[in-house]
């Protein structure tokens, strides 16, 4: 089945530095990927939708200059948290849209990245 690999699984960084999170589709081409953020004991909130070869579409309230998304190939999307601050500490999860057998689409999720900014 479709597999999405997300790295790193955990990262600790100093306040003011940037962190890059990678999301790779291993056995399929992902034209569309989604990035979610999940704060402790809360639900997953969509941050942005990235389409290969074009600019990402950000949800309302998400700072596009702070959360840089690049989807330069059909198998890789990256999220860079720039000038990270403690309030950016969260669980980030990527998801790739996968063609589903039969009608419609499915969604495959990465294993998530736990970011801690100190």
Partner 1 sequence: AQKVTQAQTEISVVEKEDVTLDCVYETRDTTYYLFWYKQPPSGELVFLIRRNSFDEQNEISGRYSWNFQKSTSSFNFTITASQVVDSAVYFCALGEYGNKLVFGAGTILRVKS
Please give the residue ranges that form the binding site for partner 1 (CB under 8 A). Answer: 32, 34, 38, 42-46, 49, 91, 93, 95, 97, 100, 103-109, 111-112, 114
Question: Residue 96 Cβ, how far from partner 1 at the closest point, in Å?
Answer: 12
Residues 6+ apart with CB under 8 A from 75: 24, 25, 26, 29, 30
Nearer to partner 1 among residue 19 and residue 97 (C-beta): 97
Question: Residue 10 Cβ, how far from partner 1 at the closest point, in Å?
Answer: 10
Nearer to partner 1 among residue 28 and residue 107 (C-beta): 107
Of the chain, the end-to-end C-alpha distance in Å amounts to: 37
Give the number of other Cβ atoms within 10 Å of residue 24's Cβ.
19
DSSP 34-53: EEEEE-TTS-EEEEEEEETT
Question: Residue 66 Cβ, how far from partner 1 at the closest point, in Å?
Answer: 20
């Amino acid at each position: 089945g479709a597999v999405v690999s997300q790295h790193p699984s955990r990262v600790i960084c100093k306040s003011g530095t940037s962190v890059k999170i990678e999301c790779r589709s291993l056995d399929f081409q992902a034209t569309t990927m989604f990035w979610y953020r999940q704060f402790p004991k809360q639900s997953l909130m969509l941050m942005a939708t990235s389409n290969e070869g074009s600019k990402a579409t950000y949800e309302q309230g998400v700072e596009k200059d702070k959360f840089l998304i690049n989807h330069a190939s059909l198998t890789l999307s990256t999220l860079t948290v720039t000038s990270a601050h403690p309030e950016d500490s969260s669980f980030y999860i990527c998801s790739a849209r996968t063609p589903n057998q039969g009608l419609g689409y499915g969604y495959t999720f990465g294993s998530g990245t736990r970011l801690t900014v100190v």
